[in-house]
Structure 1
């Protein structure tokens, strides 16, 4: 049994530190403004980029990768929660996203 806490997108405050673990092409198409981007497969190598004293809200496209990342972060001394439903739920809730490619932001 996992100890991962899942949070609803509507409970994520504007000052939350969001970690996006999707791939580069997904990030470029659309992401939450101000989020930190570290693809899931790079997380162990880039862990020092994250502050262990900051609570992290982890997101991916639908919640699977962010669940695994949250589980791994918590087992390595970080405080992390999984954003339930991922970027799809974020968009469905009408929350804003931005893109890095000059196109209309979208979730890929």
Structure 2
């Protein structure tokens, strides 16, 4: 499975497709700007929401759920890359996070 660090992902700029597979409640508290939320609990039924024809980067809280989703996407023929450390590492490394209701 392909993986990328949060710093390498940030260096790619804003024109990348990032899917956040955390549950809606988690996503509603804090998210990386520009990400699309497709919770892992409904991921298999929501494959139609995954962009095709481009690399898809997959994120969760720390990397466990995104690893499973990335493996599933790769098995379906997608060019999928796991984001190591998830939004936790993204935040720790100083990259932007949007806080929503219930967040900061």
Q: Same fold (TM over 0.5)?
A: yes
2:7 to 6, 10, 18: 10
Query: TM-score scaled to structure 1, two decimals?
Result: 0.88
Q: Distance in 2 between matches of 1:103 and 1:65?
A: 21
Q: 1:94: which partner in 2?
A: 94
Q: Which runs of 4+ in 1 moved over 4 A?
A: none
Q: More strand by proportion, 1 or 2?
A: 2
How many residue pairs end up in the alignment? 101
- Match of 2:69, SS state, is helix
Query: TM-score scaled to structure 2, two decimals?
Result: 0.91
User: How far is 1:103 from its partner?
Assistant: 3.9
Which sections of structure 2, spanning at least 5 residues, go unmatched?
Answer: none
Q: Distance in 2 between matches of 1:102 and 1:88?
A: 17
Quick check: 1:57 aligned with 2:57? Answer: yes
Q: More helix by proportion, 1 or 2?
A: 2
**Contact map agreement 1:27 1:99 (CA 8 A) in 2:** no
Q: Distance in 2 between matches of 1:103 and 1:61?
A: 15
Q: CA RMSD in A?
A: 1.2
**Which residues in structure 2 correspond to 1:63-102 (within 5 Å)?**
63-101=63-101
Which sections of structure 1, spanning at least 5 residues, go unmatched?
Answer: none
